[in-house]
Amino acid sequence: MTSTAPASLRKDARGQAPPFRRILVANRGEIAVRIIRACHELGVEAVAVFSDADAMADHVRTADEAVRVGPAPAQESYLRIDAMVEAAARTGAEAIHPGYGFLAERAEFARAVEEAGLVFIGPRSETIAALGDKLAARRGAANAGVPIVPGTLEPAAVDRPDDAAAIVAEAERIGFPLLVKAAAGGGGRGMRRVTTVEELPAALAAGSAEARSAFGDGSVYLEREIRPARHVEVQLIGDADGRVIALGERDCSLQRRHQKLVEESPAPGLDGEQRRALHAAAIRAAEAAGLVNAATVEFLLDPDGRFWFLEVNTRLQVEHGVTELVSGVDIVREQLWIAAGRALSREIVEAAGRAANPSRHAIEVRLSAEDPAREFVPSPGRIGRWAMPAGPGVRVDTGVGAGDRVPPDYDPLIAKLMVVDVDRRAAIARLARALDETVVTGIQTTLPFHRFVARHPRFAAGDLSIDWVEEEWTPAVERDRARALQAASWAAASAPVAGRERAADPAGQARPGSAWTSEGRARAVDRWPR
Amino acid sequence: MTRRVRVVPAPASLMPGDRSIVVAPDDPAEVVVEPFGDGRAVVHGPDGTDRWAYLGSANRLPDGRSVVEVVVDGWRFELELEDDHRATLRERATRARDASASTGPLEVRAAIPGRVAAVTVTHGDEIEAGATLLVVEAMKMQNELRAPRAGRVERVAIGAGETIEVGDVLVVIA
């Protein structure tokens, strides 16, 4: 395969040479496509990687060249550091963008890239290592004067019974309920909720064992459970000169099992002063860790309006698009320039100056191959129809389409539907409209949940909480599905099937003698202006 | 004569609480299904709601029933359609057969595709209802599969590390 961009076009709008000649995108799906798009806009060639499950995937077709890295299981393909570095070397890529997930927050990957003489498009490996240790990150934030969630700063002595009294005293100081969390953790693994002191020893042992098997590190610590709470995070970008700016915050409170479902920016209900304080705290936490390139600092917001530092994600976030829509900054493009050694652009510095007083509102929903009626269990399979929304203020990032197979091997996210408008109320109306245009058949998706959110008065009121899904969706899901089933049954019974027509006849064809009602056609005529 | 169709979610779509409904599509009724070609239709419900329905091709089963995919408001259903009169006759026959075979072996089949992360029972195990049989990993998540009833494990059809598809027999409980 050859480059799609002729040499004369390999420059950005200002006529500068591109940041790199060619980079490798060490990821798949929608985020690989999104990064490849940024590359092509900058005149950079993009090399994709793929497993056997993805040989025909969008990101492979979009790239200038593609390298097979292994069979379908991620452990044998997208999680192979050696294969990624080798693929970059073989194709002459100068840099590697890790996307999110897979190897994005593995310090040893960033180190291997650096040691191979290539550029890792993200924070330095030392920064990833320092912030990947949640306890080290907590200590760093606390030292920088950022309020951290009350709890411990050193690993709990899980294996030493003589220290049991000390840890119990510590737990009582923090207060119940509290959480046992893994220092190397993420995604809720190694996490245990403890409501009484009696439960503590077992929770420490279980959490530690789970953390050891998941991350190879059994260190756990204690944190007070802040509940109810909202999840609010700040998008940061830093350059090699040590300058770090905040591009605004996002509210990602609507979650299920620590997986975000809906994200928006700005976080509703904050005033300019609260925003400035929050952004400043995030910048302090990142500067303490020497952040270069993009990262996100996560906080919990309690009902009294106080922010508590949670952790730092040293990568591009899934939900970076809502920040791009509000700020007007292309974060991936900025990542490439910074990785190439350039200072923060004037545009991004100006955008950061406006971040405390945003003039637009963006919302993203994560359309996933999951069944929202069965506790969001994965529902991979082959996509039939695929209609994504369009029109003013709508952005769709995806890596699949009609007829594609969603493999069971990876994350179930299939598309990110984003809307932007002048304020939150308009953005919600636009979201509802966009979701009405969205059609996916062949697999169950989370679309019913998103439709529910977009029309919910509590969402419209900005009354968000990490318990929202449990409190609102769980009691409503059965009825929501039953109504759709009723309508689906009527539609199916009216179609020319059930023993009268040929099998495998396209169901919707209205033909003489079919069971479609003539009243329907009459009403259809009535509905439109003549 | 008015044709009556019985509609019931196929096993892949069936949830507790789902019931079959009988629809007489040719009746002049408050429900109007308005076709828009290419499998699309608007369902005008009795409560004044309009919902888009997207229908797939119907597949005829060997026993004469049809299965069709319908998506409404983002919910995907596989629905079995059968002439109501025929359904009544068939059910009578099935009940008679079930009465003699209610204690037969039970095949536990895969409800989701994925990779078998672990198998926690072996041939000959006596198990309680709800016991974990195996763990299926799909899309980064571990899903435990539990025994629908008590019994003895007669056969374990898969091993750890194997890839499974929907409908594959995993374990047989006697």
Q: Which residues in chain B are contacts of A384 at CB distance < 8 A?
A: 56, 69
* Cα A187 from Cα A206, distance rounded (Å): 16
Q: Residue A505 has what pLDDT? A: 39
**Structure tokens given for A380:** 């991979």
Say how many CA atoms lie within 13 Å of A245 toward its Cβ: 22
Q: What is the pLDDT of residues A306-317, one digit of tens each?
A: 999 999 999 999
Span B69-86, mean pLDDT? 94
**Structure tokens given for B57:** 């091709």
Q: What is the pLDDT of residues A204-233, one digit of tens each?
A: 999 999 999 888 889 999 999 999 999 999
Residue B48 has pLDDT above 80, yes or no: yes
Q: Which stretches in chain A have pLDDT values below 70?
A: 1-15, 161-162, 496-530
Convert B163-173 to b/e letters by CB count within 10 Å (16 or more is b): ebeeebebbbb
| Positions of A marked catalytic | 315
Residue from the list B34, B56, B115 with its beta carbon closest to the beta carbon of A520: B34
| pTM as predicted | 0.85
* End-to-end Cα distance, chain A: 53
Q: Residue B112 has what pLDDT? A: 73
* Cα A377 from Cα A178, distance rounded (Å): 27
Q: Are A468 and A252 in contact (CB under 8 A)?
A: no
- Bridging pattern class, strands A192-194 and A178-182: antiparallel
Prior bond of A228 cis (ω within 30°) = yes
B19 touches chain A (CB under 8 A): no
Q: Which of A409, A447, A490 to mutate to test the interface with B (most CBs of B within 10 A)?
A: A490
Say what the ipTM of the complex is: 0.89
Q: Residue A495 has what pLDDT? A: 74
B window 47-76, beta carbon within 8 A of A: 49, 51-60, 64, 66, 68-76
**Structure tokens given for A135:** 């306890």
Residue B115 has pLDDT above 90, yes or no: no
**Helical segments of A19-153, H only:** 29-42, 58-62, 81-91, 107-115, 125-132, 134-143
DSSP-derived 3-state class of residue A530:
coil
Span B126-142, mean pLDDT? 81
Q: Residue A277 has what pLDDT? A: 97
Q: Residue B99 has what pLDDT? A: 55
| Structure confidence at residue B146 as a pLDDT band (50, 70, 90) | confident
Q: Is A303 exposed, middle or buried (0-12, 13-18, 19+ CB in 10 A)?
A: exposed
Helix A331-339 / helix A320-327 crossing angle, nearest 10 deg:
100
Q: Are A417 and A365 in contact (CB under 8 A)?
A: yes
Residue, of B102 and B68, whose pLDDT is higher: B68
A489 touches chain B (CB under 8 A): yes
Among A487, A519, A524, A510, CA closest to B28: A519
Q: Measured between CA atoms, how close is A92 to chain B, in angstroms?
A: 32
Q: Residue A14 has what pLDDT? A: 56
Q: Residue A524 has what pLDDT? A: 42
